[in-house]
Amino acid sequence: MTDQELITGIVNREKPVIQYLVSTYHRQIIKTAFHFVQDMDDAEDLAQDVCIEILESAKQFRGSATFSTWIYRVTVNKSLNFIRKNKRKQLVRQFETFFSSSKQPGEVQHPEPAAENNGLHHEENRRLLEKAISLLPENQKIAFILSKYDGLSYKEVADIMNTSVASVESLLSRAKQNLQKNLISHFSEYANKK
């Protein structure tokens, strides 16, 4: 099915076309949303929002980008909006976790050592990286996630972000520098604690 046939079918609310849309793109949408929000339940909810947004705004699709690129854009926007809205909720959760733990105020929680991977469990590693990524500026975050987690080429990332390949390279380079800085400082802190 071509992009134009897909759009026409969606605009006309043709059931087989809408089913085709969901079956073809649900995996891409859920996976990308998951890479941003790091929760499968939230990613599935976001996939619903993305599909509805596509159904509602299909008429405005001009065809300047491919349908797949457009879906990526909608998914990224929905995911970033979700993260913004949930920032307050996460702060409250972190606050509760902090006070429910036995740690003293001001003491940073560090993962317990584990012999097999030099002191950091896989889940703790994942959380630390997630935290470091969350601190990145939005454009660097988008470029990094789409490139590293979704495995897209610089050209694909550039199309989704509506920018040049050179800009994507620069964003990724800065994202890596920032992540490296944040993570090294965490590791040194951890080494000092040991």
Rank residues 100 and 192 by Cβ distance to other proteins and give the closer one: 192
**Residue matched to tokens 């800085």:** 181
Indicate which single residue of 117, 153, 162, 164 sits in contact with other proteins (rule: CB under 8 A): 117
Q: How far is the CB of 122 from other proteins (least distance, A)?
A: 6
Q: How far is the CB of 72 from other proteins (least distance, A)?
A: 15
Q: How far is the CB of 145 from other proteins (least distance, A)?
A: 9
Beta carbons within 8 Å of 82's beta carbon, 6+ residues apart: 33, 36, 37, 42, 46
34/183 Cα distance (integer angstroms) = 22
Q: How far is the CB of 27 from other proteins (least distance, A)?
A: 6
Rank residues 153 and 162 by Cβ distance to other proteins and give the closer one: 153
- Residues of 157-193 as b/e, b for ≥16 C-beta within 10 angstroms? bbbbbeeeeebbeebbebbeebbeebeeebeeebeee
Indicate which single residue of 2, 16, 23, 100 sits in contact with other proteins (rule: CB under 8 A): 23
65/173 Cα distance (integer angstroms) = 25
Indicate which single residue of 84, 87, 93, 126 sits in contact with other proteins (rule: CB under 8 A): 126
CA-CA-CA-CA torsion for 71, 75, 76, 79, nearest 10 degrees?
A: 180
Structure tokens at 106: 């001001």
- Binding residues vs other proteins (CB under 8 A): 13, 18-19, 22-23, 26-27, 30-31, 34-35, 38, 40, 43-44, 47-48, 51-52, 55, 117-120, 122, 125-126, 128-129, 148-151, 176-177, 179-180, 183-184, 187, 191
